[in-house]
Amino acid sequence: MNFNNVMGYCNMKKLTMTKLEECFKSATESNYDYIAVKIQMQGFEKPEIIINQRENFDTKLAYYKKAYTEDLILKTFNGIKIVGFTFGDDFNEIECYLVD
């Protein structure tokens, strides 16, 4: 696992749809097993972590592109926003970078 790639996505100051697309592309090209997205939701104390398997990468990215703005805010409700994302080969790697 190349931790520099993972850390780069999680620690960016300004996350965008373009950077999320780059994350999916890097994970696919490097043959990683999982992509995880951290979602902050209004009214919840902690963000939600969604983990998708490689077989779902294309479909999930298409959904994110349709449902979220360039600034990663849900188009139908601005109280939901993607605040982090990464990729990895197991859940422990993902947890290291996305769970507070």
Q: What is the residue extent of each domain of the chain?
A: 3-44+54-98
pTM for the predicted model, two decimal places: 0.86
Q: Which of 1-10, 31-40, 54-63, 68-77 has the lowest mean pLDDT?
A: 1-10
Report the alpha-carbon distance of residue 34 to residue 46 in Å, rounded: 21
pLDDT score for 5? 47
At 35, which helix (H) or strand (E)? strand 34-41
**pLDDT over 90, % of the chain:** 76
Is the confidence at residue 50, as pLDDT, over 70?
A: yes
Q: What are phi and psi of 30, to 5 degrees?
A: -95, 0
Residue 24 structure tokens: 């999916």
